[in-house]
Amino acid sequence: MSSELSRRAFLKGSLLASAGGALALQAGGGASAAETPKPPPGDALPQGKIGTVKVSRMLLGGNLLTHFTHSRDLKYVYDLTAHYNTDAKIMETLALAEQHGINTVSMHNPPAPMAVLRKYRKQGGKIQWIICPTAPIQANMQPYTDQVKSLVEGDGCEAIYVWGVHADSLAQQGKMDLLAKAVEIAKDFGVASGVGAHDLKVIEECERAKVPTDFYIKTFHHHKYPSGPKPDQIKGPYNEHPGYWCADPQRTIEVMSKVEKPWIAYKIMAAGAIPPADAFPYALDNGADHILVGMFDFEIAQDVEIGKKALAGVKRARPWRS
C-alpha cells in the first residue's frame, strides 16, 4: 500500500510540475532566451566561416518551424506539426539549439515564424539568421530589395540567399542576369549573399556565369531508402517526390567537388526518410561544409551528438570551403 501511495504521489507531483511549467511558458509567451542555459560540457560543435560570419557545421533548419514538412501525401502531418510547434515551442527549440552549440537557423520568411525569431532575439537570443526572401525576382527588383533591406537593416539578419524555388525557375528560364542581380542586392547591404537550389543546373549555371555568390545551399541525399525514387520517377524540377530534392546524388558530388565556395547541404534526410546517423556522414564525407537539419526540440541533443561524431570521423576528398 505504501509503495502504491508513493507511486501515486510521485505521479501527481510530476504532473503538477509539468502543468506548472506549461502555464509558466504560456504566461511568459515561451522560454526566455536570456535564461538559456550554457552549452553542456564537452567538445563544442565545430564552426566554419561564411563571409565574415562564423557558422556552426550544423544549422537548425526552418521547415518544421514554418510547419512546411514536405510530408508527401501525409497531409495531416502539416497540421500535427503546427499544433506541436507553437510559438512557445519554437522559442524553446531555438534556445535548445543554442544550448547545444548550433549558432545559426536558416529558413524562408513567412510572417508568423519571423515574428517568433524577432521575439527570441529581443529577449536576448543570439542565434544567427540565414534567410531567403520570398519576394519575386523579376525586372522590377524593388519588392525583393525592400524585403532584403527589412531583413538586414530592420532585423539584423546575418546572411541572405536566393530561395531555391526562385533560383530553380530562373536557371531553367536562362535568366541568370536576374539571379545575379538578386545576389548583388544582398551584397550591397553588406551581408553574405548565397544561392539556394534543388536543381543542380542552378549551381552549374552560377559557376559558368560567375555569379558572385558567397555560398550555396544545395539539396543532397542518397536514394538508398525504402521510398527512394526510381529513375523514371524523377520528372522535372517541381516533382514533389523525394528524388526532386536531390535527383542525382553522384552528379552533385562531382559538381560540388569543383566548387570553391561554402556549401550548406539541406534535405539531407530526404525530409525524414533517412536516419541522421546515415544522413550526416554521407553529406559531410561527400563534400558538404555545413548541414542544415530540421529538428523538433526533443531531437536536438541526440542529433548534435551524431553530428559531432560524424565530424570527428569525417573522410572527405573535397577541402573544407568554410
**Nine-digit cell at 174?**
536562362
The low-confidence residues of the chain, meaning pLDDT below 50, are 1-31, 33-37, 39, 41, 238
**Per-residue confidence (pLDDT) for residue 26, from 0 to 100:** 39
Q: What is the pLDDT of residues 26-80, one digit of tens each?
A: 334 444 544 444 545 457 899 999 999 999 999 999 776 766 667 666 777 767 7
Cα 259 versus chain centre, distance: 21
All structural domains of the chain: 31-312 (3.20.20.100)
pTM of the model: 0.85
User: DSSP string of 243-290?
Assistant: GGTSS-HHHHHHHHHT--S-EEEESTTTTTTS-HHHHHHHHHHTT-SE
8 Å CB contact between 264 and 289: yes
Please, what is the end-to-end C-alpha distance for the chain in angstroms?
Answer: 63
In DSSP terms, 193 is beta-bridged to 160
Angle between helices 111-122 and 87-99 (to 10 degrees): 50
3 state DSSP class of 298: helix
**Per-residue confidence (pLDDT) for residue 233, from 0 to 100:** 67
3 state DSSP class of 113: helix
With pLDDT > 70 as the criterion, what percentage of the chain qualifies? 79
Q: Which residue has the cell 514536405?
A: 70
**Per-residue confidence (pLDDT) for residue 30, from 0 to 100:** 47
How many Cβ atoms from other residues are within 10 Å of residue 242's Cβ? 24
8 Å CB contact between 230 and 282: no
Cα 303 versus chain centre, distance: 14
